[in-house]
Amino acid sequence: MSARYGRVVTASGPRWARIDEALARYLDGPPWAGGSPTGEDAPWSEAALLAPVEPSKVVCVGRNYRAHAKELGHEVPSEPLLFLKPPSAVVGPGATVRLPPQSARVEHEGELVVVCGRRLRDVTPEEALRGLFGVTCGDDVTARDLQRKDVQFTRGKGFDTFCPLGPWVREGMVDRDAELTVTVNGVRRQRGWVRDMVFPVGELVAYISAVMTLEPGDVVFTGTPEGVGPLLDGDRVTVEISGIGALHHGVAPRRSP
């Protein structure tokens, strides 16, 4: 298995690390920005993991699985459908997604998320694949009622906590047969395979790079398979992708100020 990288809470604050089986081996920066080992290490626990990226932007692709486009009543697009989530929405493994009072219908969208390893601008699909650092799991949490109501997706996709990521970044790329599942309270809701993407990863990243420069550590959500459904107070959600690992998050009402 290729290396895993993340951010760990320590007594001296969050630190980047290579996450080995027993030990977190600390780095002096994120690996896609030249971070190198400091020689220090310590045992780690899942509870101490933070979001494994600090992206300057979170780019998302909608309707990239036929069956999901259909379940929402849409045609499969002829070009990738792009939108952004604000970096302020990012939370790490074990976080709690907060249900905002403005929405009566918040849904999970488990997705394969790719992490850029270098600056990408106007690249070909082949260059895009070579320029990616690795992969992680994400939940493109969506206030479906607001997404449908607003012309832009900004509100429906952009609430604080609506972007769980993790538990780590696995270096390299998953293969075409990688399976993605989402369970809620132990019951499977979503299941899909990377090979069923309408636009594969290299094409997506190349398409995005013709619009905006992607920086090292930026992330791209690659779309969700069918089976999206509502999130309710107290739900326990797991997004698992073979070859990467499992991202867990909770769900609770937004705290009143």
Which of 62/131 has CB closer to Mn ion? 62
Q: Find the binding residues for Mn ion in span 145-184 (CB under 5 A).
A: none
Please count the residues of this chain forming the interface with Mn ion, following the rule CB under 5 A: 3
> Is residue 247 a contact partner of residue 239, using CB atoms and an 8 Å limit?
yes
Rounded Cα–Cα distance for residues 30 and 34 (Å):
7
Specify the length of the chain in residues: 257
Confirm or reject binding of residue 107 to Mn ion (CB under 5 A): no
Which of 35/229 has CB closer to Mn ion? 229
Tokens at residue 252, please? 């609770």
As a three-state string, the secondary structure of the chain is: CCCEEEEEEECCEEEEEEECCCEEEEECCCHHHCCCEEEEEEECCHHHEECCCCCCCEEEEECCEHHHHHHCCCCCCCCCEEEEECHHHEECCCCEEEECCCCCCEEECEEEEEEECCCECCCCHHHHHHCEEEEEEEECCEEHHHHHHCCCCHHHHHCCCCEEEEEEEEECCCCCCCEEEEEECCEEEEEEEHHHECCCHHHHHHHHHCCCCECCCCEEECCCCCCCEECCCCCEEEEEECCCEEEEEEEEECCCC
The least distance separating Mn ion from the CB of residue 63, rounded to whole angstroms, comes to 8
Which of 140/218 has CB closer to Mn ion? 140
The least distance separating Mn ion from the CB of residue 165, rounded to whole angstroms, comes to 13
Which of 83/168 has CB closer to Mn ion? 83
Confirm or reject binding of residue 109 to Mn ion (CB under 5 A): yes
Which of 136/224 has CB closer to Mn ion? 224
**Of all residues in this chain, which one has the CB nearest to Mn ion in the complex?**
140
The least distance separating Mn ion from the CB of residue 169, rounded to whole angstroms, comes to 19
Q: Which stretch binds Mn ion (CB under 5 A): 8-16, 95-103, 109-117, 188-196?
A: 109-117
Which of 24/115 has CB closer to Mn ion? 115
Confirm or reject binding of residue 140 to Mn ion (CB under 5 A): yes
Q: Which stretch binds Mn ion (CB under 5 A): 78-86, 103-111, 190-198, 204-212?
A: 103-111
Nearest to 197, CA basis, from 173, 215, 217, 218: 173
Binding residue for Mn ion (CB under 5 A) from 224, 225, 239, 245? Answer: 224
Which of 109/171 has CB closer to Mn ion? 109
Q: Which stretch binds Mn ion (CB under 5 A): 80-88, 134-142, 203-211, 233-241?
A: 134-142
Q: Which stretch binds Mn ion (CB under 5 A): 132-140, 144-152, 208-216, 234-242?
A: 132-140
Positions touching Mn ion (CB under 5 A) are 109, 140, 224
